[in-house]
Amino acid sequence: MTAGDPADAPTHERAPCGHTPAADGTSALLSRLAVLRERVTALVEQRAAGDPTAADPLRGLYLSEEAVRHLLSREPVPPVGVVPAKPPADDRADGFTDGLPPAAGDRLAALAARLPLTGLDVAFLLVALAPDLDRAFEPLYGYLNDDVSRRRATTGLALDLCGAPAHLAPARARLHVSAPLCALGLLEVEEPERPFLSRSLRVPDRVLAHLLGDDTPDASLHGHLHPLPRPVPAGAFAHRLAERVAHGPLTVYLREHREGDGLAAVATALHTAGLDALRFTGPADHVPGLLREARLTGRALVVSGLPEQPGPLVAALTAAPDVTVLLTDPRPYDPHWSPDDPLVLDAPRRGAGGTAVWETELGAAGAAFDLAATVAPYRLGGERVARAAHAARALAAFEGGPLTADHVRLAARQQSASGLERHARRIRPDVGWTDLVLPDRPLAQLHELALRARHRDRVLGDWRLSAGGGRGRGVLGLFAGESGTGKTLSAEVVAAELGLDLYVVQLSSVVDKYVGETEKNLERIFTEADRTDAVLLFDEADAVFGRRSEVKDSHDRYANMESAYLLQRLESFDGIALLTTNLRANIDEAFTRRLDLVIDFPFPDREQRLALWRHGLSHVPRADGVDPAPLARDFELAGGSIRSAVVTAAYLAAGRGEPVGDGDLLEGARREYRKAGRLVPGEANW
């Protein structure tokens, strides 16, 4: 068939592209195409009736003199079988769709009902997508366009097929870039350089796929769409948010106190409201396709992880009042981001542990140990809990045994990894309470410190015992005592008890000679620690937490400014921070007042020194009769020095290939005395 041979036009009995009528929505769409084919056939016959070039196989490729005369003599007449509508009373132009059947039950009808589409919009959409469903429309459109190379519908052809005079402004306005069809991404009017009536119409592939029942997201969004975390039992906030989103589209900005707080609240609220959602993380360039996806499927949008400059993304999303958009980010909302302000809310703090989420992810395997106590120190989001649970099960399977608390702790620590290693030395604790030799009082205080870390969210949050004033829920402790009395080891034991990593702050990377740089370095550390499940240790804290002094020069003034900053920052800190000092009096009293516990580590007495010698030798091969009691009596050494003495003795014995003897231990103790500049018992005083 040539473009100029209307006699070969398809009839409505023929299924497009060889498809058999499909069920439900697709069948309704094909029925609409059958009506459209009748209109196309009528218009082709009408055009061919008085056209002397209708049978010319080259019609549309050139203009003969006869064709020009025919065009000059042709008067605009309505298509056969179509009655021109009267000028509409408003801009909806519903009268132009007379003759098109209602599309009850199909996706096109559902889309028109969900979006502000008129009957004329639906007709334009159908005319534009017809060649994508039935190739037979292409030569017919080429004939009606008087150009065999233009095989898609044009704006003029669409108006003709819908019985809308080309000069009627309301009808033309439905194809404007700001009208719903184009603004919502359902229709593209191409070739803006051409006259309006000869511009081509194209329906994006994603829109056509949706109308045919395919809900696969647009390929341009690949890698930017992610599943929502599993919902948790809904609290008061989630119920209120669910009620609000269920009433209609709105835009909400949730400020997270900690990463994942807002996402967990949103997932729970949407689940409570019975709404599906698309979770997006990506640049503003993809917003048009993202909004179109939400409109096609009737889903809400959840946007987390906003870019460094969120303005363009937020502005593009808040400009869509017909789509429910929920944004989450730790930063406070900035009115400069968008002229259309969303509803700004603070996401509720997610309580430590999230036992219900862990129970859901681990199932029956989590009942073999005290799951609540195991996960209490962790404040992971639902998504990270799922990943941690998967990793824990994988670790247990690798070892060939049942799931244990150690597997869960290790997996949770892996999910808490952060950028703290840029500012602090990471220690993975490998010690326990049995490694501590301390008097009862400091040992009990260390246990209390771990207890506070586990239950701070319940006591300070649920029981509302926070002091207010923007104070955080951190746990702060000071370990004071002479060098070697076990302060750093105790911090490691506390971290091990909580199942957390220990980060020792490198003061050389914090203190800076330039004004203001020390505060900036500390802020980076505190900010990273706030979002990480870890124990932060400021060893030799006198360097940054020292006493303020009378201002006598500019150095004193700036030193006091650093202390004032630290005082404010500690109050808002949400993590676990431990400070050590050799002299408690060096720490400013203002810092001491803000600490939860101050633990004094006394110098060990004779009995404790003996216990330390025996603990140090517990894994070392010893000669028969070795007794460290005389060393504990004669050498007043702290725990760190005793350990060093045992290491020296072990090297001496290993060099001989023998077990450690009394002489090796005595030499180790003497060396520690000499290192300290002390007189060694039993040696002459030279």
Distance CA 73, CA 76 (A): 10
Residue indicated by tokens 């968008």: 338
- What does pTM read for this prediction? 0.74
pLDDT at 557: 54
**Residue 301 pLDDT:** 97
Architecture of domain 219-346: 3-Layer(aba) Sandwich (3.40)
Structure tokens that stand for 247 in this block = 């009433």
CA atoms of 639 and 608, how far apart (whole Å): 9
SS3 501: strand
Within the chain, which residues score under 70 in pLDDT? 1-25, 50-105, 350-354, 382, 417-418, 468-470, 508, 546-560, 684-686
Predicted local confidence at residue 246, as pLDDT: 93
Taking residue 25's Cβ as centre, other Cβ atoms within 10 Å add up to 19
Strands (E), 428-575: 475-481, 501-505, 534-538
Position 378 scores a pLDDT of: 87
d(CA 410, CA 414): 6
In this predicted structure, what is the pLDDT of residue 61? 54
| Contact partners, residue 3, CB within 8 Å, separation at least 6 | 57, 59, 60, 139, 142, 143, 148
Q: Which of 50, 54, 39, 5 is nearest to 157 (CA)?
A: 39
Residue 607 φ/ψ, nearest 5 degrees: -65, -40
Instruction: List Cβ neighbours of 198 (8 Å cut-off, separation of 6 or more).
Output: 145, 150, 154, 155, 156, 191
Supply the pLDDT for residue 280.
Answer: 96
Report the pLDDT value the prediction gives residue 570, as an integer from 0 to 100: 85
SS3 assignment, position 518: helix
Question: What DSSP character marks residue 62?
Answer: B
CA distance 629 to 634: 9
> Which class is 433-601 in CATH?
alpha beta
Q: What pLDDT score does 305 carry?
A: 84
Query: What does the pLDDT read at residue 354?
Result: 63
Question: What is the fold, at CATH topology level, of the domain defined by 606-675?
Answer: Helicase, Ruva Protein; domain 3 (1.10.8)
Residue 52, pLDDT score: 60
Q: 488: which 2 tokens? A: 């750093």
Phi, psi dihedral angles at 473 (to 5 degrees): -115, 35
Domain ranges of the chain: 6-211, 219-346, 355-415, 433-601, 606-675
Residue 672's nearest CA partner among 632, 646, 634, 645 is 645
CA–CA gap between residue 77 and residue 514 (Å, rounded): 84
**129 Cβ partners below 8 Å, 6+ apart?**
203, 207, 208, 211
**Residue 521, Cβ neighbours under 10 Å: how many?**
18
Residue 637: which residues within 8 A CB-CB, separation 6 or more? 484, 609, 645, 669, 672, 673
Task: Classify the C-alpha dihedral 60-63-67-70 as positive or negative.
Answer: positive
DSSP letter for 83, please: P
Determine the number of helices (DSSP H) and then strands (DSSP E) in the chain.
Answer: 27, 14
Residues 597 and 448 sit within 8 Å (Cβ to Cβ) = yes
Q: What local confidence, expressed as pLDDT, does residue 556 receive?
A: 52
* Domains 219-346 and 606-675 agree in fold: no
Task: Give residue 231's pLDDT.
Answer: 83
List the alpha helices (DSSP H) in 376-486.
382-399, 405-415, 440-456
Degrees, nearest 5: CA angle 602-603-607: 105
